[in-house]
Amino acid sequence: MTKINPESPTIRESTALYKNRPIIVEMHSSYLIFRVKGMRSIRGMMSIDGALQRALQNQAEADVAAGRAGKPRKRQRLSRLRAV
Protein backbone atom coordinates (compact mmCIF):
# COMPACT_ATOMS: atom_id res chain seq x y z
CA MET A 1 0.00 0.00 0.00
CA THR A 2 1.25 3.48 -0.82
CA LYS A 3 1.85 5.70 2.19
CA ILE A 4 0.76 9.31 1.76
CA ASN A 5 3.26 11.96 2.81
CA PRO A 6 1.41 15.07 4.10
CA GLU A 7 4.23 17.35 2.94
CA SER A 8 4.17 16.43 -0.75
CA PRO A 9 1.67 14.58 -2.96
CA THR A 10 2.30 11.01 -4.09
CA ILE A 11 1.78 10.64 -7.84
CA ARG A 12 0.95 7.28 -9.47
CA GLU A 13 0.05 6.26 -13.00
CA SER A 14 -2.91 3.89 -13.15
CA THR A 15 -3.58 1.17 -15.69
CA ALA A 16 -7.00 2.67 -16.44
CA LEU A 17 -7.21 4.56 -19.73
CA TYR A 18 -9.20 7.58 -20.88
CA LYS A 19 -9.08 8.19 -24.65
CA ASN A 20 -6.09 5.80 -24.87
CA ARG A 21 -4.10 7.77 -22.26
CA PRO A 22 -3.33 6.54 -18.74
CA ILE A 23 -4.94 8.27 -15.77
CA ILE A 24 -2.59 9.92 -13.26
CA VAL A 25 -3.64 9.95 -9.59
CA GLU A 26 -2.16 12.55 -7.23
CA MET A 27 -2.73 11.49 -3.62
CA HIS A 28 -2.74 14.33 -1.11
CA SER A 29 -3.40 13.95 2.63
CA SER A 30 -7.19 14.46 2.40
CA TYR A 31 -8.09 14.43 -1.30
CA LEU A 32 -7.25 12.88 -4.67
CA ILE A 33 -6.67 14.56 -8.01
CA PHE A 34 -7.30 12.58 -11.20
CA ARG A 35 -5.92 13.76 -14.53
CA VAL A 36 -5.14 12.36 -17.95
CA LYS A 37 -1.44 11.95 -18.72
CA GLY A 38 -0.24 14.74 -20.98
CA MET A 39 -3.42 16.79 -20.52
CA ARG A 40 -3.23 18.89 -17.37
CA SER A 41 -6.39 20.79 -18.30
CA ILE A 42 -8.60 17.70 -17.81
CA ARG A 43 -8.65 17.03 -14.06
CA GLY A 44 -11.01 16.18 -11.25
CA MET A 45 -10.79 16.28 -7.48
CA MET A 46 -12.40 14.03 -4.88
CA SER A 47 -12.06 13.92 -1.11
CA ILE A 48 -10.98 10.58 0.29
CA ASP A 49 -13.97 10.36 2.63
CA GLY A 50 -16.25 11.24 -0.31
CA ALA A 51 -14.78 8.35 -2.31
CA LEU A 52 -15.42 5.94 0.58
CA GLN A 53 -18.97 7.25 1.02
CA ARG A 54 -19.70 6.79 -2.69
CA ALA A 55 -18.26 3.26 -2.72
CA LEU A 56 -20.45 2.27 0.25
CA GLN A 57 -23.51 3.84 -1.40
CA ASN A 58 -22.84 1.93 -4.64
CA GLN A 59 -22.52 -1.34 -2.71
CA ALA A 60 -25.77 -0.70 -0.83
CA GLU A 61 -27.59 0.05 -4.10
CA ALA A 62 -26.19 -3.13 -5.66
CA ASP A 63 -27.33 -5.17 -2.64
CA VAL A 64 -30.84 -3.74 -2.86
CA ALA A 65 -30.97 -4.41 -6.61
CA ALA A 66 -29.85 -8.00 -6.02
CA GLY A 67 -32.46 -8.46 -3.30
CA ARG A 68 -29.96 -9.18 -0.55
CA ALA A 69 -30.22 -6.04 1.54
CA GLY A 70 -29.22 -6.81 5.12
CA LYS A 71 -28.02 -10.33 4.27
CA PRO A 72 -24.37 -11.25 4.66
CA ARG A 73 -22.36 -11.52 1.48
CA LYS A 74 -21.39 -15.02 0.33
CA ARG A 75 -17.71 -15.69 -0.10
CA GLN A 76 -16.66 -16.39 -3.63
CA ARG A 77 -14.76 -19.60 -4.09
CA LEU A 78 -12.02 -19.52 -6.62
CA SER A 79 -11.68 -22.72 -8.59
CA ARG A 80 -8.22 -24.18 -8.48
CA LEU A 81 -6.53 -24.94 -11.76
CA ARG A 82 -4.96 -28.35 -11.90
CA ALA A 83 -1.73 -28.74 -13.77
CA VAL A 84 -2.06 -31.33 -16.51
Average pLDDT over residues 14-21: 91
Q: Is residue 63 part of a domain?
A: no
* Domain span including residue 4: 1-50
pLDDT at 24 over 60: yes
Q: Is residue 34 part of a domain?
A: yes
pTM here?
A: 0.62
> For residue 71, what pLDDT is reported?
66
Mean pLDDT, the chain, as a whole number?
82
Q: Is residue 29 part of a domain?
A: yes
Q: Is residue 64 part of a domain?
A: no
Q: Is residue 56 part of a domain?
A: no
Q: Is residue 65 part of a domain?
A: no
Bridging pattern class, strands 31-36 and 21-27? antiparallel
- Residues sharing a CB contact under 8 Å with residue 71, sequence separation 6 or more, in sequence order: 63
pLDDT at 84 over 50: no
If phi over 0 gives left and psi between -120 and 50 gives alpha, with beta otherwise, what is residue 76?
Answer: beta
Q: Is residue 68 part of a domain?
A: no
Return the SS3 of 10: strand
Count up the domains in the chain and report the number: 1
pLDDT at 39 over 90: no
